[in-house]
Amino acid sequence: MAFLGPPGAGKGTQARDLAQEWGVLHLATGDMLREAVAAGSPLGREAKGYMDQGALVPDDVIIRMMGERLGRADARPGFILDGFPRTIAQAEALAKLLKDLGQTLDTVVYFDVSEPELLRRLTGRRVCRKCGHTYHLVSNPPKRAGICDACGGELYQRDDDSEATVRNRLQVYQRQTAPLLDYYRQRNTLTTVAGEGPVAMIRDAIRKAVGDVR
């Protein structure tokens, strides 16, 4: 299955926990790209320029990365795609990839979250430079300002979490990714869940929505 929604909608949190619960693979393109950037790989260097501006990484880069990943043995039992596809072209490429691999996309879950809430979530996020642990200044602050509870590392705001970049990311999303909702709605694979409220309540709504496809 795939989780769709704007940046900050909560896709990653839910995908990570539900993938573990269901015993399937969690594939987060954002994490995969950031790892490539940190490693300084050719793919990472290519992607960094786009990510720093809050723009989408080009389809061909994402598709090459995802095709390689879905071809591994650990993807065969099932997977949750988090942050992919992001465009109609990616969705069509994904359909071809899955067909070649003998896989199917059973359902697409859309997280519906208001723009003010997205801005609050994204601009308040802080990440540990050392261990990568994530905090939020309002909903999940560290015990000591600017210091990671887990390892004592420095907390920082990612470039793509500044308000100007967040607003740009949301505009890019509306322009390029929102059309996917109609794409999957027409294929009877789209289900919508409210992405605001307690995490456990949202998770229950997802379980209910996809319970018949697992």
Distance CA 51, CA 46 (A): 10
Q: Mind telling me the catalytic residues?
A: 11, 86, 125, 158, 169
Distance CA 114, CA 130 (A): 32
Looking at the DSSP bridge assignments, the partners of residue 127 are 134, 156
Which residues, including other chains, have CB under 8 Å from residue 86's CB and lie 6 or more apart?
A: 29, 56, 62, 176, 177, 180
Tell me the Cα Rg of the chain.
Answer: 17
